Amino acid sequence: MVVGVRKARQTEACLRRTRLEGRPLMIKRLEQFLFYFLFFAIPFQTRKILYYPGWYFNEWQSVSVYATDLLLIVLFFFWGFSAIRGSKFLILNFKFLNKFQIPNSRFQIHDYFLVLFLIVAGISVKNSSDFYVGAFLWLKLVEFALFYFYLKTYAVKKFGFIKILYALILGGAFQAIIAIGQFLKQGDLGLRWLGESVLGVGLSGIASFFNTAGEKVIRVYGTTPHPNVLSAYLLLSIFAIYFLWFYPKRNSAFPNSIFYFLFSIFYAVILFGLFFTFSRTTIFLWAVGFALIGFFNFFKPQFRRLLLLTFLICLVFVSIYWPEVSSRLNISSQEEAVQLRTFYNQESLKSGLNLFGIGLGDFTGWLMEQNPNLPRYVYQPVHNIYLLLYSETGILGLLTFLLFLFFLIKNSFSKKVIGYWLLVIGVLFLGLFDHFLLTIQQGRFILWSVLTVLAIGDIIKEQSGNRAT
């Protein structure tokens, strides 16, 4: 009987120990799931609007908290807990004073310029006509600067770069399916819980154009606030496919035939989704990027397969939707989109020379004061992130941001990661024609994720060369 009691106690202790050991594993898996889900959920527009001045809502003078903000904050807590836990062990070993540091946290010259940019942007808030909006937008800058440091010092090393690409591809395919449905229906699909916009041919203020037959055509949104934003996310998904398509090492348990079959389907769906956005700048960047990939990989059998697939997709799309394609190929200086961009650029330069600008987030309010009789939809940020920074944060803000970019790109050359540099240049080129990379939640994720790629080029090469997924 005594032996039986002893065995029961041993069994109970073993079960208790197993449960205790299982908790850290569950937490680790939760963190891992949330991290990959973040990249899948970047396009989701689910949010709570907390504040906007005046009697009507203006997107550019409002304060909102997104579901992806909450997700990012949770991941930051995991990051902080990991750093604290690591420092605790160092303290117990009496090595804290000499050896404590967050892994890979050494600041480089571009990181110092990023911090200087945040300081200048913070000072510019004093010039904002609405302090609450200006302070909130500064906190958004800080949030995504932390996101940049989080990725480059902790997350990519821990979770792996390759699996991030899989999450982007799944997210891109999901958005492309929604986009295709929106285009075929020429309206929204009712996905309000994901933040889908209300779309319809008869609604005003919807991104649309007239095809050569004179029919009004709605451009697709996915769950993002604008087709241009969706196109940028789909562009990242497509280049994620390209990276894995030429990826030197894949799991031997995953045959090449199945890999190429599945990825061909994903590629076709996402590329169709990109075409349905009819975003001319992004599609142009995709075409240039594809041409460069072909230049460097022309004699590889993988590229010949990719070239044939791309040609067939383009042929099918152009054959079916030639009236729409033909209409979008014609760019006139009389188009409203072209005229508005020219108008915003000219107005931004009228803000004059100022060290700290007119105030973070204040371009729209300043434009209202300068031109009070324009239609309401015209009051938007200047469609150029560099002129926007010049107007709102002044010469010092633009200069520190450009120096951050310059030294970040220079650092990537020293690490011989030119391929990633080309991707970043494409996104920064996109910033010459739109503002969403700095002003919209999804655009911020895209910008800072891509910039991080340059900072982690050595990690990417290490993971690509030494392990398979």
Angstrom distance (rounded) from CA 129 to CA 74: 32
Is the pLDDT reported for residue 93 higher than 60? no
According to the model, what pLDDT value does residue 17 have? Answer: 52
- Contact call for residues 444 and 144 (beta carbons, < 8 A): yes
According to the model, what pLDDT value does residue 54 have? Answer: 74
Is the pLDDT reported for residue 107 higher than 90? no
Q: At what angle do helices 441-455 and 67-92 cross, to 10 degrees?
A: 40
Structure tokens at 120: 């200048």
- Give CA separation, 94 vs 80, 87, 100, in Å: 21, 10, 10
Is the pLDDT reported for residue 96 higher than 50? no
- Contact call for residues 64 and 115 (beta carbons, < 8 A): no
Q: Parse the chain into domains and list their residue ranges.
A: 1-34, 42-159+331-469, 162-220+234-245+252-320
According to the model, what pLDDT value does residue 101 have? Answer: 44
Is the pLDDT reported for residue 469 higher than 50? no
Angstrom distance (rounded) from CA 188 to CA 218: 10
Q: Mind listing the pLDDT tens digit for each residue in 361-418? A: 889 888 888 888 888 888 889 999 999 999 999 999 999 999 999 998 887 776 555 5
According to the model, what pLDDT value does residue 349 have? Answer: 86
319 Cβ contact partners less than 8 Å away, ≥ 6 residues apart? none
According to the model, what pLDDT value does residue 94 have? Answer: 47
According to the model, what pLDDT value does residue 138 have? Answer: 96
According to the model, what pLDDT value does residue 11 have? Answer: 58
Is the pLDDT reported for residue 102 higher than 80? no
According to the model, what pLDDT value does residue 20 have? Answer: 40
Lowest mean pLDDT among 84-98, 185-199, 436-450: 84-98
337 Cβ contact partners less than 8 Å away, ≥ 6 residues apart? none
Angstrom distance (rounded) from CA 124 to CA 355: 9
β-pair type (208-210, 216-218): antiparallel
According to the model, what pLDDT value does residue 412 have? Answer: 76
According to the model, what pLDDT value does residue 23 have? Answer: 54
According to the model, what pLDDT value does residue 43 have? Answer: 96
* pLDDT bracket for residue 126 (50, 70, 90): very high
54 or 293, higher pLDDT:
293
According to the model, what pLDDT value does residue 129 have? Answer: 87
According to the model, what pLDDT value does residue 12 have? Answer: 58
According to the model, what pLDDT value does residue 13 have? Answer: 54
Is the pLDDT reported for residue 127 higher than 50? yes
Q: Mind listing the pLDDT tens digit for each residue in 157-193? A: 889 888 999 999 999 999 999 999 999 999 999 999 9
* pLDDT bracket for residue 257 (50, 70, 90): confident
Is the pLDDT reported for residue 103 higher than 50? no
Angstrom distance (rounded) from CA 343 to CA 63: 26
According to the model, what pLDDT value does residue 370 have? Answer: 86
- What value does the mean pLDDT of the chain take? 85
The model's pTM is 0.89
419 or 338, higher pLDDT:
338
Instruction: Please give the share of the chain, as a percent, with pLDDT higher than 90.
Output: 50
Instruction: Please give the share of the chain, as a percent, with pLDDT higher than 70.
Output: 85
- Contact call for residues 464 and 162 (beta carbons, < 8 A): yes
Mean pLDDT for 133-143 is: 95
